[in-house]
Amino acid sequence: MNIAEIRNLSMSIYSGKGVPALILDDLNFHIREGEILGLIGNSGSGKSMTAMTIAGLLPESAQVTSGSIEIDGKDVLKLSAGERRKLLGEEIGMIFQDPMTALDPLETVGKNLDEILRIRNIPKEERKSRIISMLETVGFIEPERIYRSYPHQISGGQRQRVLIAGAALLKPKLLIADEPTSSLDTVTTVSILKLLKDICIEMHMTILFISHDLSVVNNFCDRVMVMKDGKIIDSDNTEDILHNPKNAFTAELLTKAKLDPRSLGLEFSEVDPSGSPVLKVMDIATAYRDGFFGRQRAKNTIEGISFDLYPGEVMGLIGSSGCGKTTLAKTICGLLKPTGGNIDHCSGKVGVVFQDPVSCLNPMHTIRWHLNEPLVAAGIKLTKEEREKKILEAIKAVGLEEKHLSRYPGRLSGGQRQRAAIAMCLILEPSVMIADEPFSSLDASSAASILKLLSKINRERKTSILLISHNLRVVRTMCRRVLVMSRGHVVEEGMTEEVLKSPKASATKALIDAERQLS
């Protein structure tokens, strides 16, 4: 039995006077009852828009130009607004990517979930008992405590569980999960996937799972569809997609997702550990200021961290979210003052690339301005021609073109923005680059090309890189040495291969376990 039938679905987005952009191009697929269907594609391929169209949550400017969506025998596109609203929630549940913004921060978790039932006139006592039992179902040991907590008091993974509970409260037949794990670390991702699978079986739910990451579909999805440019270009059972892809694009996605150093042509610079280090971190501790007038100091977020980074070395820094990786990065580049210890930049410059390709560039200035700004800040005096030459050099080094210089960040894709951010960092020729999860919000293709770019920079310029990530695969590919952090301390360090082969600390073991379950 099929729970949903999508036939000849096309959708366009109208913007201003221009020609409408075709977002979905003649989609034909069905979702079988009780299955987990994966929808994979790069950013901009139309996978989220497919979900939005099915749920009827399209923006005003979008219009379905042809086709039909049948859910349980009803054509959703022909329903009135009221009937559609009823459908959403009772027949279709949705989970979004960002668990931070999906809950009202001023209300407790219980109140947030209560809203869903209250508008359907369910008596108060029943509402509470249903919510508590649902919180138990999604794996909370103390559902009563979670019920009373505010969203900021629980972790990202717990919030995502709460959202799943919310979506499952009305026992919808179809659950659409739009990148539910993209903002979570590997350990949490594994647990959320397991939860979704359990719910699917226990509550007889069907799941449409959307992701840009091919590595999560294994052991999770029953079937996988691959989208590109608004078309479904490949569709098969998971086994065949992963091990025996028939479509060239799927095969390419797979290779990129594996981040194999040979197939990507990665080559790194030689490291001479006997030379003098370019960055010396000695026993640093950092705390966030707290309290009135900022005098009181909270407990140290990170403590007792020491390491040396040698010229040309790529060092990994791994750990699950909240372990203090970013705090360490901020301390090294001078955004936070250490409360103890010493950081020696050894007369070199430290550049930094942040995680979020959306907010890494100032939306009100062009790329040329962005590249000029580091030169101005460093007080480097150059003639107009020299300056322009340097800017051109930097933008070409990261694989962008001259035409991109006069553009505003809003007109670049995520990968291009990340490249521009790297160019901004390169223009000062730093001896150390700190890359804080530079791939985590990019799709496999962009991530692989950024990875290639970093290896090229490392090889050609002998720039040392401190790579912060929760993705073990990236670390294994790129890094000679690795530091493992947990709860603000370095719990393990050594050559990447040795550490990952025979992990000693429990935090490392947990990370490796999680990765194994994914691939």
Q: Applying CB under 8 A, which residues contact another protein?
A: 60, 289, 292-294, 330, 333-335, 350-352, 354-356, 359-365, 373-374, 376-378, 408, 410-411, 421, 424, 428
CA atoms of 379 and 394, how far apart (whole Å): 18
Minimum distance of another protein from residue 116's CB (angstroms): 23
Minimum distance of another protein from residue 419's CB (angstroms): 15
Q: ∠ CA 449-453-456 to the nearest 5 degrees? A: 140
Residue 331 one-letter amino acid: T
Minimum distance of another protein from residue 421's CB (angstroms): 8
Strand-pairing partners, residue 40, are 211, 226
Nearer to another protein, 160 or 418 (CB): 418
Q: Is residue 194 exposed (0-12), middle (13-18) or buried (19+ Cβ within 10 Å)?
A: middle
Nearer to another protein, 307 or 408 (CB): 408
CA atoms of 488 and 510, how far apart (whole Å): 16
Minimum distance of another protein from residue 212's CB (angstroms): 21
CA dihedral 214, 218, 223, 228 (to 10 degrees): 0
DSSP letters spanning 198-214? HHHHHTT-EEEEEES-G
CA dihedral 452, 470, 472, 179 (to 10 degrees): -80
Nearer to another protein, 73 or 294 (CB): 294
Nearer to another protein, 168 or 468 (CB): 468
Structural contact between residues 286 and 336, judged by C-beta atoms closer than 8 angstroms: yes
Minimum distance of another protein from residue 510's CB (angstroms): 29
Minimum distance of another protein from residue 310's CB (angstroms): 22
Handedness of CA 363, 368, 374, 378 (dihedral sign): negative
Q: ∠ CA 201-203-206 to the nearest 5 degrees? A: 70
Contacts of 200 (CB under 8 A, 6+ apart): 34, 36, 175, 206, 207
Nearer to another protein, 407 or 459 (CB): 407
Nearer to another protein, 205 or 350 (CB): 350
CA atoms of 285 and 383, how far apart (whole Å): 42
CA atoms of 461 and 398, how far apart (whole Å): 13
Handedness of CA 73, 77, 79, 84 (dihedral sign): positive
Structural contact between residues 345 and 282, judged by C-beta atoms closer than 8 angstroms: no
Structural contact between residues 226 and 234, judged by C-beta atoms closer than 8 angstroms: yes
Nearer to another protein, 271 or 424 (CB): 424
Minimum distance of another protein from residue 493's CB (angstroms): 25
Minimum distance of another protein from residue 352's CB (angstroms): 5
Q: Indicate the angle between helix axes 384-397 and 414-426, nearest 10 degrees.
A: 130
Q: Is residue 353 exposed (0-12), middle (13-18) or buried (19+ Cβ within 10 Å)?
A: buried
Nearer to another protein, 1 or 364 (CB): 364
Minimum distance of another protein from residue 72's CB (angstroms): 26
Nearer to another protein, 186 or 441 (CB): 441
Nearer to another protein, 84 or 194 (CB): 84
Structural contact between residues 370 and 451, judged by C-beta atoms closer than 8 angstroms: no
Minimum distance of another protein from residue 247's CB (angstroms): 34
Instruction: At 202, list the tokens.
Output: 């226990």
Minimum distance of another protein from residue 362's CB (angstroms): 4
Q: Identify the three-state secondary structure at position 16.
A: coil
Nearer to another protein, 188 or 355 (CB): 355
Minimum distance of another protein from residue 489's CB (angstroms): 24
Nearer to another protein, 105 or 410 (CB): 410
Minimum distance of another protein from residue 459's CB (angstroms): 24
382: Cα within 13 Å, side-chain hemisphere = 18
Minimum distance of another protein from residue 200's CB (angstroms): 35
Nearer to another protein, 424 or 478 (CB): 424
DSSP letters spanning 303-366? EEEEEEE-TT-EEEEE--TTSSHHHHHHHHTTSS--SEEEEE-TT--EEEE-S-TTTSS-TTS-
CA 269 to each of CA 28, 272, 387, 459: distance values in angstroms, whole numbers, following the listed order: 48, 10, 28, 4
Residue 406 one-letter amino acid: S
Nearer to another protein, 143 or 430 (CB): 430
